[in-house]
């Protein structure tokens, strides 16, 4: 029987599932920015939202990964509260379960394997829905936002963190600043970005792996992802690394190269959640992928975001559903 090519949305979902199932090993070491910088931000927003939500609270975390948000929720949930951790990847959910086990979580914990744009939960059952670094993986963020709206109680909160903005790429000053600082601050990332933009990454990623064990590991991961997709008949030939990256981070403006037009903003979140009040929306990381180390750089990054508050490369948005 001839195999039909799946719709891109299906391919994006399946690719994300396979990739994150395989990425479970070492995920936390690969994403130290999420772990370091987002902790105080999440604490601030959870404190604000939870102060308004009466106990017993029902909380849904979507795309829980290794449990970053559930671990932040630990201090806000008590016996009688419910926390549902959900993910497309059962591998990630298993790590999340292990990480939460023994973390001193008092509430009722439920792990939920998702399969796409729907949330298998009753209407108006949740007080708070959280997502950290998830929206940019979705083929259709609006499908999920409709589902979040369905399961959220009137007056409920949605917290969306660590998503790429569409504004950074449009700010010529910040983009020039990034390219001028990058070779000094992170020569390796600079080299990677240049090779990527010249279209040489596919040809060089195997030879370069001899000098970079993490690239060798990434190559093995890409090979396994391609093998699975080929075996399932979802692709006809091996996908290059940049294309995998572009599909995996389907809404990211720089996944596997420059992809103008992608990314999030206050306006996009307002469109995704019509009628919701935006309690707060802040952009950050004006130095983009440069992780500021040392006092002067931290001070410079803080000055930049004060000067361009709408144009950081990442966004965190807190929204509230109308009604009581």
Ligand X SMILES: C[S@@+](CC[C@H](N)C(=O)[O-])C[C@H]1O[C@@H](n2cnc3c(N)ncnc32)[C@H](O)[C@@H]1O
Q: Which of residues 56-85 bind ligand X (CB under 6 A)?
A: 62-66, 68-69
Q: Considering CB under 6 A, how many residues would be counted as binding ligand X?
A: 21
The answer to whether the beta carbons of residues 126 and 54 sit under 8 Å apart is no
Contact call for residue 99 and ligand X (CB under 6 A): no
Task: Please list, in sequence order, all residues whose beta carbon lies within 8 angstroms of the beta carbon of residue 265, skipping any fewer than 6 positions away.
Answer: 165, 166, 167, 315
* Of the candidate residues 15, 134, 229, 318, the single one contacting ligand X (CB under 6 A): 134
Contact call for residue 34 and ligand X (CB under 6 A): yes
Contact call for residue 138 and ligand X (CB under 6 A): yes
Alpha carbon separation from 67 to 61, 90, 99 (Å, rounded): 9, 13, 7
Return the residue matching tokens 């995998």: 244
Contact call for residue 89 and ligand X (CB under 6 A): yes
The distance from CA 108 to its chain's CA centroid, rounded to whole angstroms, is 25
Our CA dihedral for 67, 73, 75, 81, rounded to 10 degrees, sits at: -110
Contact call for residue 87 and ligand X (CB under 6 A): yes
Contact call for residue 13 and ligand X (CB under 6 A): yes
Shortest reach from residue 266's CB to ligand X, in Å: 21
Interface mask toward ligand X for 186-225; x: CB under 6 A: ----------------------------------------
Q: Which stretch binds ligand X (CB under 6 A): 3-11, 132-140, 151-159, 312-320?
A: 132-140
The answer to whether the beta carbons of residues 161 and 38 sit under 8 Å apart is yes
Shortest reach from residue 136's CB to ligand X, in Å: 8
Shortest reach from residue 140's CB to ligand X, in Å: 9
DSSP structure string for 54-70: PSSPEEEEES-TTTHHH
The pair of structure tokens assigned to 279 is: 């309690």
Return the residue matching tokens 């708070």: 128
Residue number, 60 or 185, with CB nearest to ligand X: 60
Residue number, 22 or 215, with CB nearest to ligand X: 22
Task: Please list, in sequence order, all residues whose beta carbon lies within 8 angstroms of the beta carbon of residue 156, skipping any fewer than 6 positions away.
Answer: 53, 126, 127, 128, 129, 320, 321
Contact call for residue 88 and ligand X (CB under 6 A): yes
Contact call for residue 160 and ligand X (CB under 6 A): no
* Interacting residues toward ligand X by CB under 6 A: 13, 16, 20, 34, 62-66, 68-69, 87-89, 92, 114, 132-134, 137-138
């Amino acid at each position: 029987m001839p195999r039909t090519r799946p719709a891109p949305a299906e391919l994006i979902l399946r690719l994300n599932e396979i990739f994150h199932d395989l990425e479970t090993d070492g995920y936390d070491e690969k994403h130290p920015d999420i772990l370091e910088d987002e902790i105080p931000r999440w604490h601030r927003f959870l404190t604000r939202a939870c102060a308004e939500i009466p106990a017993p609270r029902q909380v849904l975390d979507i795309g829980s990964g290794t449990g970053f948000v559930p671990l932040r929720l630990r201090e806000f949930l008590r016996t009688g509260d419910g926390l549902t951790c959900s993910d497309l990847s059962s591998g990630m959910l298993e790590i999340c379960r292990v990480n939460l086990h023994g973390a001193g979580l008092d509430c009722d914990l439920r792990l939920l394997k998702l399969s796409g744009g729907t949330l298998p939960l009753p209407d108006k059952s949740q007080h708070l829905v959280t997502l950290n670094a998830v929206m940019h993986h979705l083929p259709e963020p609006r499908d999920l936002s409709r589902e979040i709206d369905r399961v959220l109680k009137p007056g409920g909160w949605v917290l969306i963190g660590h998503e790429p903005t569409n504004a950074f790429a449009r700010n010529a000053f910040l983009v020039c600043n990034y390219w001028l600082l990058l070779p000094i601050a992170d020569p390796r990332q600079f080299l990677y970005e240049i090779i990527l933009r010249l279209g040489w990454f596919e040809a060089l990623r195997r030879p370069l792996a001899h000098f970079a064990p993490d690239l060798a590991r990434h190559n093995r991961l890409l090979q396994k992802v391609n093998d699975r997709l080929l075996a399932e008949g979802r692709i006809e030939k091996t996908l290059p690394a940049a294309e995998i990256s572009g599909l995996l981070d389907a809404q990211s403006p720089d996944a596997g190269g420059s992809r103008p037009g992608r990314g999030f903003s206050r306006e996009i979140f307002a469109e995704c959640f019509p009628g919701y009040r935006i309690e707060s929306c802040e952009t950050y990381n004006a130095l983009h992928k440069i992780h500021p180390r040392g006092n002067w750089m931290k001070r410079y990054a803080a000055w930049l975001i004060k000067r361009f508050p709408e144009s950081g490369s990442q966004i965190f948005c807190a929204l509230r559903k109308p009604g009581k």
